[in-house]
């Protein structure tokens, strides 16, 4: 059931900074609303209210909207015009394509003295003989009825024939109300019959809720194609057939529902809405169940190893007594690389896993090394060795030796050569008589 909530109103009040107290215009169309509520308390300043294409059966809770000028209730389930006396500034009322059959209810609009336009097209009351004359003569303030202007002469004629037309309208309205009472009873009977039929069909259907689409057999039974395997395979096929049958039955049921002739009544419109709502919920539930796959089970609760053939590949398990061995013959996909098969052989079972396509490509590139060139292999080995050592910015003097810059030039080669090092040159006695030699400091040395 659609309801008018504060969150919905604030969401529709984006043009007013989501403020609802000072809101003057709001559109709540196509929200499956089934009751008008809260707006007379939250939005007292409303001037324009759009509520078309909903499921509203009654006009209510709008009498406190004193400033309301335009009310659009087209395409709803309204059967009577009421509760609008408090809308003092109402100028335009749209009730197109509703189910107003009590034409005399337009008299409640006499107090809306500012009402200029009224739309009743598509309502049962428009089929009454004298409908337009009755409305024109009843509501003197109207300027337009069903988008057609009301002329002065038309109003005078309607007022002149009003007593006779009003009596005729009253008779037609009485007949219509009797018909509506019968339609309501018929609709109630049809709904009850459908509910009983639906309940009966659900009781007749037998479905195994534990089936998850896989084929389970007892692996301890080594006889190929045993009765257990055939039974489980039959269950799986029946499960697939059941799903196809459910989809087919849903399609047939939906086609029968829409092709079935129904009267143009509020009950029929509401029933169609309920049917669409149930179908959407069932579809969402199926999609959610389809997305949420059950966890993979390899061992039964009682401890038995299960034979799971998810890809449905043909296989056979033979007992070779002559050679004291079991032979598993499994047919895999053509051109499948053997590196993509994971085989686990245990004393009680054999598990073969076929990896996913996306994962296969990545694993294959990492595992295959024969396609690499010798030069690439050498570079890779060097890089691996280099990565084994920790590189440091500091120099370890125990591992590395550097030349001493201070000893690059020998002492004897750089004596007296420029500013590197200046030494006083020793004088050598040419005669060899060093003892009688007097060193005069004022005499410069000989070069």
Tens of pLDDT along 217-240?
Answer: 444 444 444 455 455 555 555 555
Instruction: State the average pLDDT over residues 54-82.
Output: 95
The model's confidence at residue 366, banded by pLDDT at 50, 70 and 90, is very low
Strands 92-94 and 70-72, by their bridges, are parallel
Please tell me the predicted confidence (pLDDT) of residue 370: 45
pLDDT > 70: percent of the chain: 66
Tens of pLDDT along 249-259?
Answer: 667 777 776 67
Contact 76, 100 (CB under 8 A): no
Contact 101, 177 (CB under 8 A): yes
3-state secondary structure 77-142: CCCCCCCCCCCCCCCEEECCCCCCCCHHHHHHHCCCCCCCEEECCCCHHHHCCCHHHHHHHHCCCC
The model's confidence at residue 380, banded by pLDDT at 50, 70 and 90, is low
Please tell me the predicted confidence (pLDDT) of residue 266: 86
Q: How far apart are CA 214 and CA 173, in angstroms?
A: 64
Look at 419 and 249; give whichever has higher pLDDT.
Answer: 249
Q: Which of 29-33, 307-311, 407-411, 442-446 has the highest mean pLDDT?
A: 29-33
Please tell me the predicted confidence (pLDDT) of residue 351: 81
Instruction: State the average pLDDT over residues 195-212.
Output: 63
Tens of pLDDT along 75-133?
Answer: 999 999 999 999 999 999 999 999 999 999 999 999 999 999 999 999 999 999 999 99
Q: How far apart are CA 32 and CA 99, in angstroms?
A: 17
pLDDT surpasses 90 at 27 = yes
Instruction: State the average pLDDT over residues 256-268.
Output: 76
Q: How far apart are CA 340 and CA 360, in angstroms?
A: 6
The model's confidence at residue 304, banded by pLDDT at 50, 70 and 90, is confident
Look at 2 and 411; give whichever has higher pLDDT.
Answer: 2
pLDDT surpasses 50 at 210 = no
pLDDT surpasses 70 at 425 = no
Q: How far apart are CA 136 and CA 143, in angstroms?
A: 9
Instruction: State the average pLDDT over residues 375-400.
Output: 54
Please tell me the predicted confidence (pLDDT) of residue 152: 94
By C-alpha distance, which of 9, 51, 16, 60 is closest to 30?
51
Instruction: State the average pLDDT over residues 402-426.
Output: 53
pLDDT surpasses 90 at 275 = no
The model's confidence at residue 325, banded by pLDDT at 50, 70 and 90, is confident
Look at 325 and 311; give whichever has higher pLDDT.
Answer: 325
Tens of pLDDT along 128-173?
Answer: 999 999 999 999 999 999 999 999 999 999 999 999 999 999 999 9
Average pLDDT, rounded, for the chain: 76
pLDDT > 90: percent of the chain: 38
Instruction: State the average pLDDT over residues 17-22.
Output: 89
């Amino acid at each position: 059931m659609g309801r008018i909530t504060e969150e919905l109103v604030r969401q529709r009040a984006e043009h007013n900074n989501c403020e609802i107290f000072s809101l003057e215009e709001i559109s709540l169309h196509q929200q499956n609303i089934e009751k008008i509520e809260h707006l007379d308390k939250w939005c007292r300043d409303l001037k324009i209210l759009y509520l078309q294409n909903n499921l509203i059966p009654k006009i209510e809770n709008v009498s406190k909207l004193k400033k309301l000028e335009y009310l659009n209730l087209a395409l709803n389930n309204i059967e009577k015009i009421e509760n609008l006396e408090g809308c003092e500034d109402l100028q335009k009322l749209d009730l197109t394509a509703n189910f107003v059959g009590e034409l005399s209810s337009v008299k409640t609009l006499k107090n809306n003295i500012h009402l200029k336009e009224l739309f009743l097209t598509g309502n049962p009351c428009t089929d009454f003989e004298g409908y337009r004359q009755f409305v024109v003569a009843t509501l003197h303030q109207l300027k337009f009825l069903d988008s057609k202007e009301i002329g002065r002469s038309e109003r005078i004629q309607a007022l002149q024939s009003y007593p006779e037309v009003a009596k005729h309208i009253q008779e037609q309205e009485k007949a219509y109300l009797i018909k509506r009472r019968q339609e309501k009873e018929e609709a109630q009977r049809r709904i009850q019959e459908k509910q009983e039929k639906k309940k009966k069909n659900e009781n007749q259907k037998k479905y195994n809720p534990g089936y998850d689409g896989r084929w389970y057999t007892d692996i301890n039974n080594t006889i190929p194609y045993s009765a257990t395997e055939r039974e489980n395979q039959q269950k799986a096929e029946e499960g697939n057939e059941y799903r196809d049958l459910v989809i087919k039955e849903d399609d047939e049921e939906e086609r029968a529902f829409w092709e079935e002739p129904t009267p143009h009544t509020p009950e029929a419109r509401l029933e169609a809405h309920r049917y669409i709502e149930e179908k959407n919920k069932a579809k969402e539930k199926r999609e959610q169940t389809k997305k949420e796959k059950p966890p993979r089970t390899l061992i039964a609760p009682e401890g038995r190893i299960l034979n799971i053939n998810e890809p449905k590949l043909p296989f056979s398990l033979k007992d070779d007594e002559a050679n004291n061995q079991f032979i598993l013959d499994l047919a895999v996909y053509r051109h499948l690389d053997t590196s993509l098969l994971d085989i686990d052989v245990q004393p009680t079972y054999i598990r073969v896993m076929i990896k996913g396509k996306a994962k296969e490509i990545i694993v294959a590139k990492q595992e295959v090394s024969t396609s690499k060139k010798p030069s690439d292999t050498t570079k890779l080995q060097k890089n691996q060795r280099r990565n084994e050592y920790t590189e440091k910015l500091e120099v370890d003097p125990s591992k590395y030796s550097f030349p001493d810059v201070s000893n690059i030039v020998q002492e004897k080669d750089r004596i007296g050569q420029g500013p590197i090092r200046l030494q006083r040159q020793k004088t050598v006695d040419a005669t060899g008589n060093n003892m009688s030699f007097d060193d005069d400091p004022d005499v410069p040395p000989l070069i």
